[in-house]
Amino acid sequence: MDLVLFDLDNTLLSGDSDFEWAQFLIDKGVLDRELQEAKNQEFYEHYKAGTLDIHAFLDFQLKPLARHGRAELDAWHVEFMAARIRPMITPLAVELVGRHVSEGALTAMVTATNSFVTGPIAREFGIAHLIATVAAQENGRFTGKPRGQPSFREGKIDRVETWLESLGLWWGSFGRSFFYSDSLNDLPLLAKVSDPVAVDPDETLRRHAATLDWPIISLR
């Protein structure tokens, strides 16, 4: 059996769900455009540059969840999926996931984006497991804080290994391990698997992949 891990933003999606969720809330008037739009763009630029302060970003990203009830948030997410996410899902991405699933691989989406935003997206792709930054809840209401270790950079390795342990597995349980990603931020996990694949990569990852002769593919 193979282990197949997929990054989400700008990998399986031709865009960034984190960024788009904030823009969606801004467009709905839930967040103040003047105050929040520039900050959202600033965080996104830091992410692309590999200089993101994940804790500052999570404070920005998760606080809006704490201001609203779950039923309202869930209704907004249905709109979000239709308006922002499904248009970013390409046939090639669906085909890639489907091929690995049909071959019997253990699959997981491994993303820094929070679990509220990404849970429905993983289900849309038919990916059985989600390893995301956990948006903490108390009595069904979001606290505005993360729970546990963010699924970001080296944290992705720790979170994957904890998940594998919970299944009674480890890296050596698999014939091959794949990770598909676009981002320089994912170099630690890409270096950990047996089969790293750069997907529509940023320039830093593209150079790294070319140097190490990693496959470079496009899903767009």
List, by residue number, the catalytic residues. Answer: 7, 9
Q: Beta strands 141-147 and 129-138: pairing type? A: antiparallel
Question: Starting from the edge strand earliest in sequence, which strands make up the sheet with 177-181, in order?
Answer: 141-147, 129-138, 106-114, 3-6, 177-181, 195-199, 216-217
Q: Which two tokens stand for residue 20?
A: 């788009």
For the record, the structure tokens of 82 come out as: 């239709």
Round to whole Å and give the CA distance between 10 and 3.
Answer: 21
Give start and end residues of each alpha helix (H) in the chain. Answer: 17-27, 33-49, 54-66, 70-80, 91-102, 115-125, 154-166, 187-192, 203-212
Asked if residue 134 lies in contact with residue 115, where contact means CB atoms within 8 angstroms, the answer is: yes
Q: How far is CA 219 from the centre of its chain?
A: 16
CA dist., res. 104 & res. 1, Å (int): 7
